[in-house]
């Protein structure tokens, strides 16, 4: 089965080619959607086969590499089109193909009747292929094809409604910000490659080879430079400070895209990349600290913005940024498996919520369309009371919200609690631990608050939509609700895969599973880890209780403000108008970037063109030409053709020469 | 078969003779004949490709007496190695595409236009295959004239200014090169060299001062052609005013003359000087990358934007070439081919919409995706190839350039250059958005027709090459690598690097024993060259590496 790993990205590629070339002629939505869904589902089956085979092997044999064909070989540099199957990539392919299949299925219903239906499925398949290349690549360059490939698909899908200027802007912004990250990725790659090559004559970008040689890497120094560069790449792809502003704008894309790309898979690529290179990252204590701090800061920063948004998808977008921050916090405190665990549970509950919001928008849109109204179908202020008309959507959304808020025993509880516990008890960051934990805990409180704010505004209370169209609201069709139910189940029970040891009810499957991948990193980390740590069971139980309490507090605040005392938010806004405006406008980060980078760049470009190119360089060029023309214009008069002119100049010459000799 | 190189080079001239007999009013006959000639020429060049042995030697050599005027002995000495091979193929590949693009674009003086195109092809091919310095110079100048007329006669509003600017800019450089060439020849004569044959000069040991002056003269001429910042200002004008086929050829092949000149002449002839000036040239290259990208970003005319993007791309090529290692030079060579394909395609794309709307202002467009879906798809693929998305050709070249340069002494230059990948995404995606996305609100755009069969046929070969070279560049790299390794060892003259083992060269490779020019490149027993090659044998036992 391992040998067939290349089939996994191949199926979606076939789907892309069929729908891309012939989709327009096929026209039949069932066929197009069926092909797209079937292809990714086939990948899912192959992935299951690989997982099964891997489970049957002893842990140390769970690594397999498959070289398809040589790609770029030049001088010392070698990069093959090759795949790496290990426990980490196995988890990732399961998530990508599993959640991917559900979202494809969902899209058949959601995108029904859209112009360019085939285009959507072609792009979606292309995205899956790129994402699978990203997680399966056995060297940094194959990973980079996937890395940029998902960026491309993200661009294409955000810009799906390309006639809207906002969609075009958002697509471009996403790609360019990702490119800033890619710049970091490339420099990191160069640095590592060059260091190994020039110091140890190991010219490689292959993960297994780097892992084998990673004992040669120093602690800090060049590793800090390289890993920080890689981390810049991760901040771009995974929407962390400072490169996070593209993700909320990316909500311009159709909702299944937001679910698949901008929640479940692509944006987690940065987390995956750090996991893949954990044995390099851990060698730089400084980078680890930066990762943890940026993660925690993003978690809380995005959570604050999420509290004031009214667009249902934007709330979820900031929530994604914030949850990704939690994952980076996990990576930064050396709890790599916990980061991957949260990546997985987040894929379940966030995909479920995005698809649920899509179900709501779909229904709202339909109703507004029928009533010939032009209200915003995504604005939560127009919603309310939807739990009665959309019970399946509501229930699945509600359990996912419990999961993200961290309520026991939903999946998010286990993963988030593990991260907070490791932030508190990890042996790497000393006194910073308490700050990391505190920030994470407050962010978790905000999370519970804004998520329940969303649930209350959308599903509870009275329906605020125009009464004319109320009766048009309805539950979505089965293609939409089936994926919701599957994801809802996963969001509920997915956490049992990684139950903490203190509970002891189930073994921690996921941690054991990922052990072979991360044990080397732990070994390296032990070199500078300070002894002791707070490994007390009582403390772990205590913190667990505390984090549930925090979540409940967040929920209670939301309940008070948005169900019981609904006038309070407006009063709050009236009391602190400046604060509300700042939060609502995302702390003006976009404006800041425009001011610092975008506008100066444009102005500088204008100056270089109109000022330097045209005036200076061409000024010199044309100046030389004009001087030559000027002189020739003067000299021209000397060749007048009149005898008396020549005679006069002869006489003048004689006079001058004679004068010279006479007065010498 | 042995004369296939000459055949390829001069077949277009035969085509010109044929055109002379066709009345100037039968436009379609003129067009079809020209197309047929260029197509046949492409097929002939494929036999060169298939007959090419993958090694570092010059092949398909023809060497016969040509001019002997007093001390000056010029020979008709031609041949190709892995470096020039692909540029020859690129030229013959682009020509039919360029000819096909003129079918509806040029309606006036069709005969003259076609003659110009064919003359241009001979000039370009000749320059790539010349192994005699003087012969190279002749072809170098031959290229200039048809291009001058193409811009000056079939150009846009400001054509005379652009044509004269193009001509004089290039002429200034070539004259300097001519002086340097003659000076070099006299230096060579002192060392016993008897003709302008390039390969003998590789083993000539020049003192540093001479190398510096000669390098500067050559480098100046080539820098104008590349064009390198700040000698690039002829390019936007020439490109904007030139007709589409002219722009395509200018971008795809003519600019490569500059970079090829460095690789073939300026670097191996004056290796010490090249090393000395590498930081300076890399600085100009990097400035070019950033500068051109920023200027491209604010252009209002699509064609000018593409022209400036050329400057940025060629900056990458220069950076890679001056890394002096296999990865960098291979990347540079690949990028030359990639730029030929991608930028050639971009100019064709601009040509398509110009033919339809007679404007190139970005603000005149918007929302074309809706009206022209096929065009949109092709434009998007080419855009991403130009940006250097992995999987397309642009990535392979750019990546090898950057990793090669990062390994070399140009590390910090590379870091700055890498930021060019951000800027290229900015200007290309921005123009794509403004032209293709948004509302289709201009009534004139609402009647636009999508690409017709001929236009699609023009683009398909380019699109195919974009993916072939992006996904499987191995055949291209394999064929050029031995020649590049040889060049790298020629460049490895500084004593500091002497102990570095030339990795990538198999043991016992001829290039390691006699890395510079050697009599082995001459066809054995060729009567015309036998005497001079004997002389060379004595003179060339002293290659640079022996120092």
> Per residue of chain B (547 residues), what is the pLDDT tens digit?
578 899 999 999 999 999 999 888 888 898 999 999 999 999 999 999 998 988 888 989 888 888 888 888 888 999 999 999 999 999 999 999 999 998 888 888 888 899 999 999 999 999 999 999 999 999 999 888 999 999 988 888 888 888 988 888 888 889 999 999 999 998 888 888 888 888 888 888 888 888 999 999 999 999 999 888 888 889 998 998 999 999 999 999 999 999 999 999 999 999 989 999 999 999 999 999 999 999 998 888 999 999 999 999 999 999 999 999 999 999 999 999 999 999 999 999 999 999 888 888 888 888 888 888 899 999 999 999 999 999 899 999 999 999 999 998 888 999 999 988 888 988 998 888 888 888 888 888 888 888 889 999 999 999 999 999 999 999 999 999 999 999 998 887 654 433 334 444 444 444 444 444 434 444 444 444 444 444 444 334 444 443 3
List the one residue out of A239, A253, A393, A379 whose CA is nearest residue A320: A239
- Cβ within 8 Å of A, B 181-220: none
Best residue in B399, B413, B420, B477 for a mutation probing chain A (most A CBs within 10 Å): B399
Mean pLDDT of chain A: 87
Q: What is the pLDDT of residue A535?
A: 66
Best residue in B170, B233, B236, B311 for a mutation probing chain A (most A CBs within 10 Å): B233
Interface pTM (ipTM) of the complex? 0.87
* Rg, C-alpha atoms of chain A: 31
Q: Domain residue spans in chain B? A: 295-501
Check CB contact under 8 Å for B411 and A194. Answer: yes
Name every residue whose Cβ is closer than 8 Å to that of residue A30 and which is 6 or more positions away in sequence.
A108
Check CB contact under 8 Å for A172 and B404. Answer: no
Check CB contact under 8 Å for B472 and A71. Answer: yes
- Cβ within 8 Å of A, B 333-392: 367, 369-370, 384, 389-391
Give the nearest partner residue to B422 out of A159, A176, A609, using CB atoms.
A176
- Cβ within 8 Å of A, B 215-244: 230, 232-234, 236
Question: Does pLDDT of A280 surpass 60?
Answer: yes
Residue B313 token pair: 């791309």
Q: How many angstroms separate the CA of residue B93 from the nearest CA in chain A?
A: 23
Search chain A and give the residue with CA nearest B305: A609
Residue A608's φ and ψ, nearest 5 degrees, are -60, -40
pLDDT above 70: percentage of residues in chain A:
99
- Dihedral sign from CA coordinates of A165, A168, A174, A179: negative
List the one residue out of A5, A332, A1 whose CA is nearest residue A138: A5
Residue B189 token pair: 């004569």
* Residue A92 pLDDT class (50, 70, 90 cuts): very high
Give the number of residues written for chain B: 547
Contacts of B433 in chain A (CB under 8 A): 159, 168-169, 171-172
pLDDT in tens, A450-476: 999 999 888 888 877 777 777 788 888
Search chain B and give the residue with CA nearest A205: B403
Contacts of B305 in chain A (CB under 8 A): none
Distance CA A607, CA A563 (A): 56
Check CB contact under 8 Å for B390 and A148. Answer: yes
- Cβ within 8 Å of A, B 488-547: 503-504
**Mean pLDDT (whole number) for A158-180:** 88
Cα B373–Cα B378–Cα B383 angle in degrees, nearest 5: 120
A590 or A300: which leads in pLDDT: A300
Q: How many angstroms separate the CA of residue B127 from the nearest CA in chain A?
A: 27
List the one residue out of A145, A151, A150, A146 whose CA is nearest residue A72: A145
Query: At B103, is the secondary structure helix, strand, or coil?
Result: coil
Q: What is the pLDDT of residue A341?
A: 93
Contacts of A164 in chain B (CB under 8 A): 438
Q: How many angstroms separate the CA of residue B315 from the nearest CA in chain A?
A: 17
A284 secondary structure, DSSP code = -
Contacts of B503 in chain A (CB under 8 A): 75-76
Search chain B and give the residue with CA nearest A600: B294
Contacts of B294 in chain A (CB under 8 A): 601, 604-605, 608
**Burial class of residue B416, CB neighbours in 10 A (0-12, 13-18, 19+):** middle
* Residue A45 pLDDT class (50, 70, 90 cuts): very high
Give the number of residues written for chain A: 664
pLDDT in tens, A620-655: 888 888 888 888 888 777 777 788 888 888 899 999
**Residue pairs spanning A and B at CB distance below 8 A:** 150
Q: Are A9 and A133 in contact (CB under 8 A)?
A: yes
Give the nearest partner residue to A605 out of B297, B395, B418, using CB atoms.
B297
- What residue ranges in A267-359 does DSSP mark as E strands? none
Best residue in B295, B372, B487 for a mutation probing chain A (most A CBs within 10 Å): B295
Query: At A130, is the secondary structure helix, strand, or coil?
Result: helix
Q: What is the pLDDT of residue A533?
A: 55
Contacts of A76 in chain B (CB under 8 A): 326-327, 407, 503-504
Q: What is the pLDDT of residue A610?
A: 80
A639: Cα within 13 Å, side-chain hemisphere: 4
* Helix locations, B52-190, DSSP H: 82-101, 110-129, 133-154, 159-190
DSSP B382-435: HHHHHHT-BTBHHHHHHHHHHHHHHHTT-HHHHHHHHTHHHHHHHHHHHHHHHH
Check CB contact under 8 Å for B438 and A602. Answer: no
Q: Does B417 touch chain A (CB under 8 A)?
A: no
Give the nearest partner residue to B422 out of A179, A193, A608, using CB atoms.
A179
Name every residue whose Cβ is closer than 8 Å to that of residue B78 and which is 6 or more positions away in sequence.
B5, B6, B9, B60, B61, B62, B63, B126, B129, B130, B131, B132, B135
Contacts of A609 in chain B (CB under 8 A): 295, 298-299
ω into A409 cis (within 30 of 0): yes
Search chain B and give the residue with CA nearest A194: B407
* Residue A308 pLDDT class (50, 70, 90 cuts): confident
Distance CA A12, CA A35 (A): 9
Check CB contact under 8 Å for B327 and A75. Answer: yes
């Amino acid at each position: 089965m391992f040998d067939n790993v290349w089939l996994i990205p191949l199926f979606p590629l076939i789907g892309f080619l069929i729908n891309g070339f012939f989709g327009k002629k096929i026209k039949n939505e069932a066929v197009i959607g069926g092909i797209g869904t079937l292809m990714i589902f086939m990948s899912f089956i192959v992935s299951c086969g690989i997982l099964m085979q891997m489970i049957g092997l002893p842990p140390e044999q769970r690594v397999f590499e498959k070289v398809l064909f040589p790609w770029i070989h030049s001088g010392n540099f070698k990069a093959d089109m090759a795949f790496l199957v290990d426990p980490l990539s196995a988890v990732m392919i399961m998530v990508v193909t599993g959640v991917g299949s559900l979202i494809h299925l969902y899209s058949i219903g959601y995108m029904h009747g859209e112009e360019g239906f085939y285009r959507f499925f072609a792009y979606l398949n292309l995205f899956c292929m790129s994402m699978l290349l990203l997680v399966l690549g056995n060297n940094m360059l194959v990973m980079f094809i996937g890395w940029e490939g998902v960026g491309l698909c993200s661009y294409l899908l955000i810009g799906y409604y390309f006639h809207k200027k906002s969609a075009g802007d958002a697509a471009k912004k996403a790609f360019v910000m990702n490119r800033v990250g890619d710049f970091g990725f490339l420099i990191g790659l160069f640095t590592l490659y060059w260091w190994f090559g020039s110091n140890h004559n190991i010219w490689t970008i292959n993960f297994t080879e780097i892992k084998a040689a990673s004992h040669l890497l120093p602690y800090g120094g060049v590793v800090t430079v390289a890993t920080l560069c890689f981390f810049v790449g991760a901040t771009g792809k995974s929407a962390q400070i400072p490169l996070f502003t593209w993700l909320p704008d990316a909500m311009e894309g159709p909702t299944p895209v937001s679910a698949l790309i901008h929640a479940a898979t692509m944006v987690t690529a940065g987390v995956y990349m750090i996991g893949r290179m954990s044995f390099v990252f851990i060698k730089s204590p400084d980078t680890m600290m930066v990762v943890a701090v940026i993660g925690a800061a993003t978690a809380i920063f995005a959570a604050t913005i999420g509290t004031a948004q009214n667009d249902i998808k934007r709330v979820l977008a900031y929530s994604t940024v914030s949850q990704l921050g939690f994952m980076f916090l996990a990576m930064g405190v050396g709890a790599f498996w916990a980061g991957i665990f949260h990546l997985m549970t987040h894929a379940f509950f966030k995909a479920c919520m995005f698809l649920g919001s899509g179900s709501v928008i779909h229904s709202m849109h339909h109703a507004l369309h029928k009533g010939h109204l032009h209200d915003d179908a995504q604005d939560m202020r127009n919603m309310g009371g939807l739990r009665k008309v959309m019970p399946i959507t509501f229930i699945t959304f509600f359990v996912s919200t419990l999961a993200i808020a961290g309520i026991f025993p939903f999946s998010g509880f286990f993963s988030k609690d593990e991260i907070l516990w490791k932030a508190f008890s990890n042996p790497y960051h000393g006194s910073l631990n308490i700050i990391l934990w505190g920030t994470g805990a407050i962010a978790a409180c905000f999370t519970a608050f804004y998520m329940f704010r969303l649930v209350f505004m959308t599903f509870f209370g009275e329906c605020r939509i125009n009464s004319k169209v109320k009766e048009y609201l309805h539950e979505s069709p089965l293609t939409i609700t089936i994926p919701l139910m599957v994801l809802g189940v996963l969001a509920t029970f997915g956490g049992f895969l990684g139950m903490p040891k203190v509970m002891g009810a189930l073994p921690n499957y996921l941690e054991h599973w990922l052990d072979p991948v991360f044990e080397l990193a732990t070994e390296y980390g032990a070199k500078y880890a300070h002894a002791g740590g707070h490994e007390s069971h009582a403390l772990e139980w205590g913190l667990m209780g505390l984090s549930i309490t925090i979540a409940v507090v967040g929920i209670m605040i939301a309940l008070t403000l948005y169900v019981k005392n609904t006038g309070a938010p407006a009063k709050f806004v009236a009391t602190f108008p400046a604060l509300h405006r700042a939060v609502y406008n995302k702390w003006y980060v976009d404006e800041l970037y425009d001011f610092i980078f975008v506008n100066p760049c444009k102005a500088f470009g204008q100056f270089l063109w109109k000022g330097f190119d045209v005036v200076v360089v061409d000024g010199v060029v044309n100046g030389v030409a004009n001087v030559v023309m000027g002189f020739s214009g003067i000299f021209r008069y000397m060749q007048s053709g009149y005898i008396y002119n020549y005679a006069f100049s002869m006489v003048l010459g004689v006079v001058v020469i004679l004068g010279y000799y006479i007065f010498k | 078969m042995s004369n296939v190189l000459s055949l390829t080079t001069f077949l277009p001239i035969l085509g010109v003779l044929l055109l002379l007999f066709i009345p100037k009013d039968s436009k379609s006959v003129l067009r079809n004949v020209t197309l047929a000639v260029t197509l046949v020429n492409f097929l002939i060049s494929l036999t060169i490709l298939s007959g090419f042995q993958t090694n570092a030697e010059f092949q398909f050599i023809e060497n016969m007496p040509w001019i002997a005027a007093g001390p000056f002995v010029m020979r008709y000495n031609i041949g190709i190695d892995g470096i020039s091979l692909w540029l020859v193929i690129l030229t013959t590949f682009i020509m039919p595409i360029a000819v096909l693009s003129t079918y509806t674009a040029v309606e006036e003086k069709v005969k003259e236009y076609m003659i110009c195109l064919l003359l241009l092809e001979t000039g370009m091919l000749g320059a790539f295959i010349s192994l005699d310095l003087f012969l190279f110079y002749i072809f170098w100048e031959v290229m200039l004239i048809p291009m001058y007329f193409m811009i000056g006669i079939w150009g846009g509003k400001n054509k005379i200014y652009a044509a004269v600017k193009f001509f004089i800019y290039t002429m200034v450089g070539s004259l300097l090169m001519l002086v340097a060439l003659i000076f070099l020849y006299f230096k060579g004569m002192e060392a016993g060299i008897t003709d302008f044959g390039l390969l003998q000069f590789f083993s000539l040991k020049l003192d540093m001062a001479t190398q510096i002056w000669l390098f500067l003269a050559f480098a100046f001429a080539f820098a104008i052609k590349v064009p390198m910042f700040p000698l690039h200002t002829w390019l936007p004008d020439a490109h904007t005013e030139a007709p589409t086929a002219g722009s395509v050829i200018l971008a795809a092949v003519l600019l490569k003359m500059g970079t090829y000149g460095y690789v073939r002449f300026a670097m191996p002839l004056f290796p010490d000087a090249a090393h000395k000036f590498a930081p300076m040239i890399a600085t100009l290259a990097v400035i070019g990358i950033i500068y051109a990208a920023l200027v491209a970003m604010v252009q209002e005319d699509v064609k000018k934007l593409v022209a400036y993007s050329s400057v940025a791309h060629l900056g990458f090529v220069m950076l890679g070439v001056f890394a002096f290692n296999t990865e960098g030079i291979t990347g540079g060579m690949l990028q030359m081919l990639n730029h030929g394909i991608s930028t050639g395609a971009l100019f064709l794309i601009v040509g398509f919409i110009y033919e339809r709307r007679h404007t190139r202002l970005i603000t005149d467009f918007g929302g074309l995706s809706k009206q022209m879906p096929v065009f949109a798809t092709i434009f998007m693929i080419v855009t991403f190839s130009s940006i250097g998305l992995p999987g397309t050709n642009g990535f392979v070249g750019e990546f090898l350039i950057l990793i090669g340069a990062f390994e070399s002494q140009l590390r910090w230059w590379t870091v700055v250059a890498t930021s060019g990948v951000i800027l290229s995404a900015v200007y290309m995606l921005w123009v794509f958005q403004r032209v293709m996305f948004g509302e289709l609100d201009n009534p004139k755009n609402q009647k636009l027709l999508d690409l017709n069969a001929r236009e699609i046929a023009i683009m398909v070969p380019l699109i195919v090459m974009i993916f072939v070279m992006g996904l499987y560049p191995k055949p291209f790299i394999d064929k050029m690598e031995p020649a590049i390794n040889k060049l790298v060892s020629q460049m490895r003259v500084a004593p500091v690097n002497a102990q570095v083992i030339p990795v990538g060269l198999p043991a016992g490779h001829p290039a390691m024993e006699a890395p510079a020019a050697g009599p082995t490149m001459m066809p054995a027993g060729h009567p015309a060259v036998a005497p001079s090659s004997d002389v060379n044998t004595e003179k060339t036992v002293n290659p640079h590496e022996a120092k």
